[in-house]
Amino acid sequence: MTDKHPPLCRYCGKPIAKKTKSVFFGDQFASQARLHDDMFTYKAERPRSKEEAQRLLNQQIVSVRWARGEEYAAKQAGFDHITHATTWDGESYVDPYFCNGAHAKDFAYLHAKAGAATTTYTAANAKRFAEQQAKKGGQP
């Protein structure tokens, strides 16, 4: 989606959340660097600013978490640094139509109660009706 506005939930009208990815920084994660997937990435670098973190990543940074002062990671590294960043590719959302599964289900129930159905359901219903009519027609 290239629109600058997020899609809205078809049930409640709220903006649908961005599909984000977590990036963990620090050499303690170096052994996990091969474990890239849709949700997590690991990098050995320890960026000391959001700008430095941005240079290491190819996506927009949504938020960062710092190791500061007395925290173990900051003491080990000898300086404050970013330990985690949440990134967004600028166009992906968690779902194109609904903000959560419950709203998708509620939306479906509303439409089913109003008589909406898929073509598969309609065909199955027509077949059942035809079979029932055939049975009735064959009886005296």
Whether 2 is covered by a domain: the verdict is no
Q: What is the pTM of this model?
A: 0.70
pLDDT score of 1 = 44
pLDDT averaged over every residue in the chain: 87
Are residues 132 and 77 part of one domain? Answer: no
Residue 98 neighbours by CB distance under 10 Å: 22
pLDDT score of 34 = 59
Whole-angstrom distance, CA of residue 78 vs CA of residue 123: 69
pLDDT score of 55 = 93
Are residues 61 and 34 part of one domain? Answer: yes
Whether 43 is covered by a domain: the verdict is yes
Whether 11 is covered by a domain: the verdict is no
In sequence order, the β-bridge partners of residue 67 are: 81
Are residues 83 and 107 part of one domain? Answer: no
Are residues 50 and 71 part of one domain? Answer: yes
Are residues 84 and 24 part of one domain? Answer: yes
Whether 10 is covered by a domain: the verdict is no
pLDDT score of 37 = 64
Are residues 47 and 77 part of one domain? Answer: yes
Question: Where a domain ends, among 93, 112, 128?
Answer: 93
Domains contained in the chain, number: 2
Q: What is the mean pLDDT of each run of 10 residues along the chain (140 residues)?
A: 80 97 81 65 87 92 86 70 93 96 98 96 95 78
Cβ-Cβ contacts under 8 Å for 87 (sequence gap 6 or more): 20, 21, 22, 23, 57, 59, 60, 61, 62
Are residues 85 and 27 part of one domain? Answer: yes
Whether 54 is covered by a domain: the verdict is yes
pLDDT tens digits for range 23-54 = 998 877 666 655 666 677 888 888 989 999 99
Q: Determine the structural domain holding residue 65 and report its residue range.
A: 18-93
Whether 77 is covered by a domain: the verdict is yes
Whether 81 is covered by a domain: the verdict is yes
Are residues 87 and 29 part of one domain? Answer: yes
Whole-angstrom distance, CA of residue 113 vs CA of residue 86: 41
Whether 1 is covered by a domain: the verdict is no
